Structure 1
């Protein structure tokens, strides 16, 4: 990369007044310029909507990208809205308003989103004229903008019940919080990579000798998927239905600059093989004795309240990932499909080196390139792609601007809003919080025990989507972070270890849902663990041991 470009990119300046914290859990690497233009406004608008309805003293998050890295700062609620916020907070727990959000999600929002995504996917961008393709890209972009906002409109419904549960349990017992959060297991099947379409495909393959032989083939994943889709009758229909649901979801990111699942066919085939071998629907459940043991640790006078709080967490836990699956994760994949089609035309003309490089351009630059009116050079887009591929959040400043200030004291707040703010604070802290940096010895890496249990296996250090094809059943995934879209392949794993994240991070939630040991927030697992090492993951104590040969 040109040294002057490299130097400019690595200068980090706060994007505004205040203290800005990096978000390495959701964006562990720099995002594409295309995505950086879309995400901030959607997050801000979506968070503002739910903040008002739930009576938060926080107005929203101001979300910006600096050199491609995500940073945010909290914007307090305006003084003029405080009386209305107090009034709104009074109904949150009394009426359990998150249930209304879930009902609206199931009845209106989710079905409408599926319909919109499928309508866009029904258009083959390769068959469009140049002018029609520009119009189609604009439609996909507007859909993605709406879906980012939609995702964050449901933030409080997804995280407040579990934050409130954690705040109460933390006052009642000192047992590991990960053990209590594991009681939600089985309430969010899609977080464990289980879809009705997957179950239907697996059953169809079991009943078809030719499909079983196809699946056992040594051919590449793309050829196997094509052959399954080409099967007559039930198998072909089921394969197309499954790929229609998961194929155009982003696989390892919330960034359109990263591949969709269909671009990593070997990982999809491995997941299908696992489902077929399981001989039935895979549903993780919580043994009654586990619930009873942990319930006994709660003081007797609080056990009924514990039961009620846990029931609400179990009811709402699927929304944590669904609001991404059916919103920006899917819309991002649809958007990427359109941009790859346009990039393919530019690459065929020799104007860019790789179709995927088009996502490195801003929307204005994309319009210029497609209109033949200039735009960045092929070399410039290549430099941007190289920068994103070679930089990680661990190397960027954790804080920009002013040093973080302690949260304002909440003494004297009315009980309703105090409970709302405490639950929110607990949840947010648990999304990204890890242990303080410590000097680990050469064999033990410490983090947060997010999903209990112990597992030993081969470490697979996943740095990018291309590495996912190396995953084999029973491997230990070691990554900077995982996103909602990872769920398609996570069921293959024996354990999960991440640099970033807290007890409510994606890796923690999906680990608990699938019942596999998980340690998150290690800060430097990817630096200390080499691909192929044998490791033991203790999801109860939060320790990862590198086993000697």
Structure 2
């Protein structure tokens, strides 16, 4: 079977040199197993580098496990989405590969009435259920914030003795850790409660229009639901407000240089400084619970813990304002374009189909904002709190000598952390020495070396034989994986001066390329450049004021990169497959967001 495969089989794809034994870093159920080789090779797998662009530390796999498992359950067990079950996933050479599970054709019809009843209930009571969701998610964040990890004391507190508590401090510590993991699990259960329905309603609208107008561009359909005001854009909006306020109050110069501490001290000394500082503090809760990554990695940097990031963006905005430039999103222009295109297609429809169109459009517009909004509450805010608490725990065990660096715990998986905690508490309880300090540093050093080796090789975009046609809607919309994109991966792009991807956001731009591999490199972007990257995070929006266009390797029409670019009026081509490894920084590019073509001009 392997000989004629179009993409390599995971069973024949070797690890990069120095990464041998990488399988030990991940749970058994996430590995390709020899005993089911025939089944696994019969499936097509694509790499989800959109959400997980770098190899997983063992602890960080909790994000892919909880996210993809919960995504699947809503299709399969909650709403019975007629054509689609969940997505199967594996880790290979440190990267995540996915394979959507279709519903057997003979079972689709039987699911329709269940879907109508279950999803219908949500669609009919969307606002009330969404209010309830907000309450649940905020309560869950508060529960997570309340957790705390402290080193074990010399003795159990005397008042515990006098109150007859009958427990020690390790009991609470173990319970708190387990609770943190369960609260994270709950976070991801909530995440998908509405998301899949948001996509389903949009896809229903999309399918209806494609049926009526077979040649309608995907982009035209996307434009009909654009112009959404969502909380995901609030952090960036808050920075713009702070920049405008700084200019108005005359504290802009005070903010311009030095460390965060120095800049804030300069403002405090200025005449209207207090008013600006109050606004700065107020914006932080909750809007600085925001990461320049995507929340899926323990290494993601959050604004509220790295205030130099938001301050850097504010400085950029102040510079633009002082030059008399416009920094606001072109919301009116986008809404106008939305209304124009909607009216044009509505007029082309036969009279009797107009109410159907209005109904489907109305539903898509009602549910669509959630597709972006949940991101702020889950990936950014909830995940930020979770990682902060885990770093607190890692630091406690670091102080106890378990590992060399304060954040080394993330090289253990979540089950091993329980063992390390028991070891720590056990030694404390019996008055002996824990084994962890002589056991873990060596294991961690070996794992670090393996992860460094895995990171030297970009992931294969896909594994095994692709199907003749990709029909699974999520795969197309979210990941941008279509029969065309697979053909492009396979042929490696014959014409080296041109790349083709999804026409994700309209407009034409020319400029110098700036290739960025991670959020840490965002500071390198210069005014007027074209951003080329494997994938953008929604939180990169503040750099959109500097760049002329975006080009990504992965992502469909409904990827965050595409949605954010449309809302910011920036041309984008997504899902090119290999732009970030083909294009070099400094090359001149021409990006056409309406045709999906990227020309390398130099």
Give the TM-score taking structure 2 as reference length.
Answer: 0.74
Describe how 1:263-278 pairs up with structure 2 within 5 A: 265-273=307-315, 277=321
Deviations 1:426-447 (A, max 9, x none): 3432222252314253332211
Higher relative contact order (Cα pairs below 8 Å, separated by 6+ residues): 1
Describe how 1:118-129 pairs up with structure 2 within 5 A: 118=142, 120-121=144-145
1:463/1:480 contact within 8 Å kept: yes
The answer for the alignment partner of 1:376 in structure 2 is: 440
Using the TM superposition, name which of 318-327 and 301-310 deviates more: 301-310
Cα distance in 2, alignment partners of residues 104 and 53 from structure 1: 15
Secondary structure of the residue aligned to 2:340 is: helix
Unaligned stretches of 5+ residues in structure 1 = 409-421
Cα distance in 2, alignment partners of residues 498 and 14 from structure 1: 28
Secondary structure of the residue aligned to 1:97 is: helix
Shift of residue 140 of structure 1?
A: 3.5
- Partner of residue 27 from structure 1, selected from 44, 48, 52: 52
Describe how 1:347-366 pairs up with structure 2 within 5 A: 352-366=403-417
Cα distance in 2, alignment partners of residues 113 and 227 from structure 1: 38
Shift of residue 102 of structure 1?
A: 4.8
- Partner of residue 56 from structure 1, selected from 81, 88, 92: 81
The answer for the alignment partner of 1:292 in structure 2 is: 340
- Partner of residue 68 from structure 1, selected from 75, 88, 94: 94
- Partner of residue 64 from structure 2, selected from 23, 39, 56: 39
Describe how 1:437-448 pairs up with structure 2 within 5 A: 437=488, 438=491, 439-448=493-502
User: For the structure 1 residues 159 and 379, does the alpha-carbon distance in structure 2 shift closer, same or farther, using more than 3 Å as the test?
Assistant: same
1:165/1:310 contact within 8 Å kept: yes
Cα distance in 2, alignment partners of residues 251 and 356 from structure 1: 19
User: For the structure 1 residues 478 and 358, does the alpha-carbon distance in structure 2 shift closer, same or farther, using more than 3 Å as the test?
Assistant: farther
Cα distance in 1, alignment partners of residues 274 and 183 from structure 2: 33
User: For the structure 1 residues 297 and 4, does the alpha-carbon distance in structure 2 shift closer, same or farther, using more than 3 Å as the test?
Assistant: closer
Describe how 1:135-154 pairs up with structure 2 within 5 A: 137-154=177-194
Secondary structure of the residue aligned to 1:14 is: coil
2:20/2:450 contact within 8 Å kept: no
Unaligned stretches of 5+ residues in structure 2 = 1-14, 25-29, 154-168, 425-433
The answer for the alignment partner of 1:239 in structure 2 is: 280
Shift of residue 55 of structure 1?
A: 3.5
Matched, 1:88 2:114: yes
1:59/1:78 contact within 8 Å kept: no
2:502/2:575 contact within 8 Å kept: yes
The answer for the alignment partner of 1:312 in structure 2 is: 363
2:552/2:574 contact within 8 Å kept: yes
Secondary structure of the residue aligned to 2:125 is: helix
Shift of residue 508 of structure 1?
A: 1.1
Shift of residue 159 of structure 1?
A: 0.6
Using the TM superposition, name which of 517-526 and 258-267 deviates more: 258-267
- Partner of residue 160 from structure 1, selected from 192, 200, 203: 200
1:55/1:87 contact within 8 Å kept: no
Deviations 1:67-109 (A, max 9, x none): 432233445669999787332233478x58335345422x122
Cα distance in 1, alignment partners of residues 543 and 394 from structure 2: 27
The answer for the alignment partner of 2:570 in structure 1 is: 516
Cα distance in 2, alignment partners of residues 201 and 134 from structure 1: 42
Aligned residues: 524
Secondary structure of the residue aligned to 2:591 is: strand
Deviations 1:302-330 (A, max 9, x none): 55544443333332222112223212432
User: For the structure 1 residues 161 and 474, does the alpha-carbon distance in structure 2 shift closer, same or farther, using more than 3 Å as the test?
Assistant: farther
1:498/1:521 contact within 8 Å kept: yes
1:185/1:515 contact within 8 Å kept: no
The answer for the alignment partner of 2:456 in structure 1 is: 390
Cα distance in 2, alignment partners of residues 458 and 134 from structure 1: 53
Q: Report which of the two structures shows the higher radius of gyration computed on alpha carbons.
A: 2
Matched, 1:330 2:384: no
Cα RMSD between the aligned structures?
Answer: 4.0
Using the TM superposition, name which of 123-132 and 514-523 deviates more: 123-132
Cα distance in 2, alignment partners of residues 429 and 91 from structure 1: 26
1:270/1:472 contact within 8 Å kept: no
The answer for the alignment partner of 2:520 in structure 1 is: 466
Deviations 1:351-402 (A, max 9, x none): 545434332221233344552442532412422552464343xx236126xx
User: For the structure 1 residues 265 and 522, does the alpha-carbon distance in structure 2 shift closer, same or farther, using more than 3 Å as the test?
Assistant: farther
2:254/2:266 contact within 8 Å kept: yes
Matched, 1:496 2:529: no
Deviations 1:144-170 (A, max 9, x none): 221122212223222112212222222
